[in-house]
Amino acid sequence: MLEDNDDIEIEISISESSNEEDSEKSSNKSKSKNNSDKQKKDPKKKKTSDGVEKKLWSVAKKYKTLLDKGLIPQIAESEEDRIEVSDAYLNISSNRHRQLDARVYQSLTKMQRTRDTKVALEGTTERDRLRMIAWEVKIRTKAIMFMPGDNTLDMDMFNLHDVGGVQIIEGDNKELLVEDKILEGKGIAIMESLPLRKLTKEQRESLKKEFLKKFGGKQFKISELESKIDSIFADLISLLVREKQIMLLRTGKDSIEIVLLHTASERINELDLVNQSIVITPKKTRK
């Protein structure tokens, strides 16, 4: 520990020597003036408010320069400066002096903290330093609240509803957008009201199997399908379509066929198909 301190002393003296060169004009001049003042002037005169202001200004200026340049003076030097301004408060006469006094003490504290950080960081690993920076961020964050998870669609606000049955809405022969009137007219919400479910891989697979067994390769009337599927199956349809396991084929005016792609891909290749969006949403139960 002592060795560490010695190292720092060496570093500081190096920085001080360069500092002396840099801030010679500003701080040392005033400091030497102060010292000569101390010797020459009567102690009573020294305690005038002018003297106090001068003293405070010189220290404030010195530390501003040092902090701006990232230089750290020796502890002894800082202590000398502190002693020099320690009785300044006795002669403070105006608000300006009070502010100046506060400024000087803030600079002294900041310098001490910078010095402490330097000492404390000796021997720390890179990971430790990163952890310290992260901590400083962590203890100052007043986080924004998020309740629903990440969405890619805008919330259809104020249309919350109970999750009951499922409603199938069809657009024209074009992609359906959230802003489309056909969706708004039905008074439905798309994103926000489905409860979050966390399924394990096994549960997901068994649900998929169950769904494919029940619905795969079969043809349904739209109203019949609406009544048969719940919101979980509606999610599954989306998932299976995305995974290219099934395709929903509109076979008649009111009927939909759930085609298994691995068994019927040849048949689909032969057909002349038009792509159309179908939005499957929870049904809004109106009061």
Partner 1 sequence: MIENQSNNDEEQVEERSANNVREKLEEDFGEIDPQLFLALTSRRRLENGSLAFGVSKRHLRNKTGLTLLELETLLEDFGRNVKRLGLELISYVVDNEVWYCLRSIYVVPNELSLDEQAVLGTIIYLIEKTTDHRRREEIPITSTILFDRLVKRGYYTEYSLTKILRTLVSTGYIRRGGNKIRYGARTKIEIATERRKEIADRTEGMLL
Residues forming contacts to partner 1 in the complex (CB under 8 A) are 70, 110, 113-114, 117-118, 121, 126, 129-134, 136-148, 150-155, 157-160, 192, 287
Residue 244 neighbours by CB under 8 Å, 6+ apart: 261
Sign (positive or negative) of CA dihedral 194, 196, 201, 202: negative
Q: Return d(Cα 160, Cα 32) in angstroms, integer.
A: 76
Q: Which is nearer to partner 1, 5 or 151 (CB)?
A: 151
Tokens 């002669």 map to which residue? 91
Distance from the Cα of residue 212 to its chain's centroid: 42
Please count the other Cβ atoms lying within 10 Å of the Cβ belonging to residue 252.
Answer: 10
CB of 69 to partner 1, least distance (A): 13
Give min distance, CB of 287 to partner 1, in A.
8
In the bound complex, what is the minimum distance in angstroms from residue 131's beta carbon to partner 1? 6
Rounded least distance, CB 159 to partner 1, Å: 7
Residue closer to partner 1, measured from CB, 140 or 181: 140
> CA 246, CA 243: separation in Å to the nearest integer?
8
Task: Please give the single-letter amino acid code of residue 266.
Answer: E
* DSSP helix/strand/coil, 145: coil
Cβ closer to partner 1: 93 or 151? 151
Distance in Å, CB of 148 to partner 1, minimum: 5
Distance CA 167, CA 279 (A): 8
Residue 257 in 3-state DSSP?
strand
CA 150 to chain centre: 15
Residue 267 C-beta: closest distance to partner 1, Å? 37
Question: Which tokens in the block code for residue 140?
Answer: 């100052």
3 or 136: whose CB is closer to partner 1? 136
Number of neighbours of residue 198 by Cβ within 10 angstroms: 5
Q: Compare residues 126 and 272 and give the one whose CB is closer to partner 1.
A: 126
Give the residue with the Cβ less far from partner 1, 161 or 208.
161
